[in-house]
Amino acid sequence: MESTPDHKFVDNVSAVLAGLILVTVVISVLAITIANRTALLRQSDSASQAKLVERIQPFGDVVIAGQETTLYGQDAVASMELAAATPEPDSGAAVAVASFDSGEAVYQSACTACHSLGVAGAPKTGDAGQWAPRIAQGSDVLYEHAIVGYQGEAGIMPAKGGRADLTDDHVRWAVDYMVEASQ
């Protein structure tokens, strides 16, 4: 029987697909074999286990005033001091409070994500043209919008930039920093 061009095409495509499937199976078997051997080596190496435990260790601690806690990080003493100095909330819910020493530190931690790029209509830090009408409203209005939140024609400002752990003073510092950098 004579082969037609259609039969040759189907035969060629079938051969290519069979080859690709074979390559996929071989690569999968090799990957599984290598992964299993690597896992066995890591399980027997105590230094690797110690490094793994160090890598997955929590990078921070939540400390609630009046409750005992296990601390992992380097700042355990500072965290305990912060918790001791933080008053209990009226609602009975525990709130962790951030610790900053300057408006720039608050800005870098909480504000830069939106205010460096102008996300959601946020005025870019350093752009005097965008900040001038806001600055003209006065510091009290800026503080209120930053602390309580604001939705206007130009964009949205979530309360405290979405960071409930910031105090009102932290937010004021950050606003002052942005205003100073934008004049």
- What is the biggest distance separating any 2 CA atoms in the chain, rounded to whole angstroms? 93
In the chain, the percentage of residues whose pLDDT exceeds 70 is: 73
Average pLDDT of every residue of the chain:
80
Q: What is the pairing mode between strands 150-151 and 156-157?
A: antiparallel
Residues 116 and 125 sit within 8 Å (Cβ to Cβ): yes
Query: Tens digit of pLDDT for each residue in 57-100?
Result: 776 666 666 666 655 544 444 444 544 554 555 555 555 566 77
Q: How far is Cα 64 from Cα 103, in angstroms, rounded to an integer?
A: 25
pTM above 0.75, yes or no: no
Identity of residue 128: A
* Closest CA relative to residue 103, chosen from 149, 167, 60: 167
Residues 130 and 144 sit within 8 Å (Cβ to Cβ): no
Q: Which two tokens stand for residue 49?
A: 């286990």
Q: How far is Cα 1 from Cα 7, in angstroms, rounded to an integer?
A: 11
